[in-house]
Amino acid sequence: MKYKDYYSVLGVDRSATTEAIKKAYRKLAHKYHPDVSKDPQGEEKFKEVAEAYETLKNPEKRAAYDQLGRHQPGQDFQPPPGWGEQHGDAQFSFDEADLADLFAGLSGGRHAGGHIRMPGQDYDVATTISLMDAYQGTEVELNLGLPEPDAQGRLHRVPRKLKVRIPKGATDGQRLRLAGRGGKGLNGGRDGDLYLTITLQAHPLFRVSGHDLYLDLPLAPWEAVLGASIDVPTLAGPVRLKVPPNSPAGRKLRLSGRGLPRPHGKEGDLFIITQIVVPETATDAERGLYEQLAKDSTFNPRAHLQKEMNHAA
């Protein structure tokens, strides 16, 4: 079994009072709790902090932990002779167990394998899928290591492979529940659940907002003025889009139902946003045409600014 230094995780002295341990835990919980922290490593750090506090806040568990002696974090160690009998778990397999599972199995000094019905633990896992997978639906394979009790109620971490069908309709941040796929319940308690959070990979062309998609459509200045029929990509394949004449930059054209499907409803939309782009360099012929246009056109794009300046003068 690998040693974890719960005191150093909480940043407290080994002689710290329960009150000081609680204070240190609260400070770290504010910093790393996944519901309030923006730290990408927050969840992992919070798990370590919560595991340490769970043992050290309970005087009996803390005494049992202290009796394990001091070791380097991560170092393999064996509890002293008689430790198991003293803390109600004579046959615990120390080689394969995790320290957290060992202390989770001790309920205030008594082993949890009694007759109290205990529900299994819920687990949260995240998976990243592509936009196309969200559009079509996909299957992901999860590799989990969940603690499961043996016949005596002792917890062992068991590797499990789970194939999960993600129905079409996912979007960024959406959650799925896999009932009964979390930790096993004890003494007839219900099995915990597994919660899956979907993250969408950024797509090089489409931006996602809920189930709607956004695509920038660059137009040449003459296409914006004259209008154009342009093939645009969608997740279902290209479609021909009619850009109306005199389309300014930033105009939103809606392709209804071409966004992401919803789990039980109407598909999202694809919004095409027009952009007007100019060539980095114009040929002499192009330049000549623009000069002719500049001479002939009466269009003043800054009329409103001129009005304001005249008013101020």
- With CB under 8 A as the contact rule, the residue among 214, 232, 255, 269 that binds another protein is 214
Residues contacting residue 65 through CB under 8 Å, at least 6 positions apart: 6, 55, 56, 103
Site string for another protein, 275-304 (x = CB under 8 A): x-x---------------------------
Q: Does 1 bind another protein (CB under 8 A)?
A: no
Complex with another protein: residue 106 or 208, whichever CB lies closer: 208
* Cα-based torsion angle of the residue sequence 79, 81, 87, 93 in order, rounded to the nearest 10 degrees: 60
- Joined tokens for residue 114: 């009694």
Complex with another protein: residue 66 or 216, whichever CB lies closer: 216
Closest separation in Å from C-beta 50 to another protein: 7
What's the CA gap between 69 and 59, in Å, rounded?
16
Instruction: List the one residue out of 129, 139, 260, 256 whose CA is nearest residue 200.
Output: 129
Complex with another protein: residue 39 or 216, whichever CB lies closer: 216
What's the CA gap between 12 and 6, in Å, rounded?
9
Q: Which positions from 105 through 124 interact with another protein, judged by CB under 8 A?
A: 119, 122
CB neighbours of residue 101 within 10 Å: 18
Residues contacting residue 202 through CB under 8 Å, at least 6 positions apart: none
Candidates 146-154, 165-173, 238-246, 297-305: pick the segment binding another protein (CB under 8 A).
165-173
- With CB under 8 A as the contact rule, the residue among 27, 70, 71, 177 that binds another protein is 177
- With CB under 8 A as the contact rule, the residue among 194, 200, 219, 224 that binds another protein is 194
Do residues 137 and 166 make contact, with C-beta atoms less than 8 angstroms apart? yes
Q: Does 29 bind another protein (CB under 8 A)?
A: yes
Helical pair 42-56 and 18-32, crossing angle rounded to 10 deg: 160
Q: Does 26 bind another protein (CB under 8 A)?
A: yes
Three-state DSSP at 57 gives coil
Candidates 64-72, 78-86, 106-114, 164-172: pick the segment binding another protein (CB under 8 A).
164-172
Q: Does 267 bind another protein (CB under 8 A)?
A: no
Radius of gyration from C-alpha coordinates of the chain: 31
132 secondary structure, DSSP code: H
Q: Can you give the binding site for another protein, defined by CB under 8 A? A: 26, 29, 33-36, 46, 50, 119, 122, 141, 159-167, 169, 172, 174-179, 181, 190, 193-196, 207-210, 212, 214, 216, 218, 249-250, 252, 263-264, 271, 273, 275, 277
